[in-house]
Amino acid sequence: MRRDTSALSGETFDLLIIGGGIIGAGIARDAALRGLRAALVDQEDFASGTSSRSSKLIHGGFRYLEQRAFHLVAESCRERAILQRIAPHLIRPVPFLLPVYDNSPRSLLTMRIGMTLYDLLALYRNTAPHRTLSAEATLAVEPNLRTQGLLGAIRYYDCAEDDARFCVENILHAADLGAVCNNYCRVTGADRTGHRVASVRLHDELLGSELETRARVVVNAAGPWIELVAALLGTDGLTALPLSPTKGVHLLLPAITREHAIAIQSPDRRILFIIPWHDCSIVGTTDTDFSGDPADVHAADEDIEYLLTEIGNAVQRPIMRADVITTFAGVRPLLAANATDPSSRSREHRIVRQAENLITVAGGKYTTYRKIAEETVDEVYRILGQPAPRCRTTHEAIPVRPRVRNGDLLCQQPEVFESDVIEACRDEMATSVADVMWRRTGLALSRCGGEATAQRVTALLASELAWDEPTASRSLQTFLSGRNFPRGMGVPPM
């Protein structure tokens, strides 16, 4: 897959997808599998927004049981099973422990009943049914958990994934199937004919050129930016889709557990997670109201202190601020709802036709992206006035992409070689240090994410892309300044 913005002009596509996050990626792949001529653009890199800043989970959403969103749990469990089947190399089962203490907001009996319902709604498609462990058995498998007041734990399975890589793999497959996909193409406006979007104007952020793309259907899948994109497309006065965004913050810490992910009941009834991540642990997430530019979201001091306090109360080993390797934060584009508690807002989605040929997709979550894409492409066919072929994404595998591993090793966990950086540049449309470190290799979210590794990546990109010294320095500094370190911590060592 090579970047070619000229391919966006000169023909009329069946659909143009605005937004290269997981929803847009899924739509592009589904459409291409069904034979539609699809184009996809993103104002920045693919997965550079919310889709690289999630909890890295494909999960059934057992916490939605408390909201009585049984249909969402059932759908999530079904989709999790599908994703495990079509992408076993990208989705891995992870054993979870949910410890229960004498002061937990939910009792062990309540959790046992809830997890039994969870297994039933999954139609027993979980990796294994849940089990109840005694306090002694819990500490035998995860001895770093707090012992005082421990009554036992529920052991169950969900799945983990590298969210950015998973999104990019969907886009790569869509491109293999004929979709025209380009990053760093920003929507600047549209030409309309009545209530139809005739063409979309784009600005190539790398080349500085102006483009015009024509499509029979336009899909706005811009996540937290859907309202901005809708305004640029001229949908004022049409069906509104107001968002009520929330911010989620995560910390990367040295490994806390042996092999299990831990689901923690905080006193405010939130569920927090400790997730194994290579030789580290990801801790999160917060769920607070957010207003402002989603591109400026970051981990504030109060977010970091909240997570450190809650995790510190759950484990024996002291967790200090100095232990934080890095942080990341994202904005969830949730639909506006009556719920005042951000954690209680629905993760459901809506697909709305905002003009005769304009579809906007709002809400949703990573686990259900495939189903959202299927429903969206079905709607595209309705607008085109054609019968929709059967969706193929329930059974069509995301290909395993062979890699020729050679060159010096950049990092052991995750295992990344210099050749991976070159491949990201040549075949995966990576054009900056941040593209490679965050969204092609996962180096940024590891112990190798500091300046020393970033300098080596910069040198490889400079050679491959013929950068001069100012360009290379600018790309390196942009990555380092956007690393979302806690304020005052600076850049940690390799």
Please give the full DSSP string across 431-446, using - where no structure is assigned: -SHHIIIIIIS-GGGS
Helix or strand run (H / E) with residue 452: helix 451-465
Question: Which residues make up the CATH 3.50.50.60 domain(s) of the chain?
Answer: 5-51+164-242+346-384
- Predicted local confidence at residue 486, as pLDDT: 42
The residue-averaged pLDDT of 274-289 equals 93
Residue 235's pLDDT is what?
67
**Residue 397 pLDDT > 80:** yes
Q: Which amino acid is at 240?
A: A
State how far the alpha carbon of 269 is from the alpha carbons of 19, 103, 107, 266, 272, in Å: 34, 12, 12, 5, 9
Contact (CB, 8 A) for 264 and 273: yes
Alpha-carbon span 50 to 103, nearest angstrom: 34
Per CATH, which fold does 89-160+244-342 belong to? D-Amino Acid Oxidase; Chain A, domain 2 (3.30.9)
Tokens of 110: 């309540």
The confidence score (pLDDT) of residue 136 equals: 97
Distance CA 490, CA 272 (A): 26
* DSSP reduced 3-state for 383: helix
In the block, residue with structure tokens 């949730």: 334
The mean per-residue pLDDT over the stretch 323-332 comes to 92
pTM as predicted: 0.94
Whether the bond between 193 and the residue before it is cis, its omega within 30 degrees of 0, is: no
Residues of the chain with CATH 3.30.9.10: 89-160+244-342
Q: Which element (helix H / strand E) includes 28?
A: helix 22-33
Buried b / exposed e across 421-439, counting CB within 10 Å, b at 16+? bbbbbeebbbbbbbbbbbb
Q: Which fold has domain 5-51+164-242+346-384?
A: FAD/NAD(P)-binding domain (3.50.50)
End-to-end alpha carbon distance in the chain: 31
Which of helix, strand or coil describes residue 190?
strand
Q: Which of 165-169, 348-352, 365-369 has the highest mean pLDDT?
A: 165-169
Contacts of 232 (CB under 8 A, 6+ apart): 187, 188, 189, 190
- CA nearest neighbour of 277 among 165, 136, 417, 366: 165
Q: In this predicted model, which residue has the larger pLDDT, 204 or 271?
A: 204
User: Is there a contact between 287 and 342 (Cβ–Cβ < 8 Å)?
Assistant: yes
The percent of residues in the chain predicted with pLDDT above 70, rounded, is 94
pLDDT digits (tens, 9 = 90+) for 99-134: 999 999 889 999 999 999 988 888 877 888 999 999
3-class DSSP state of 292: coil
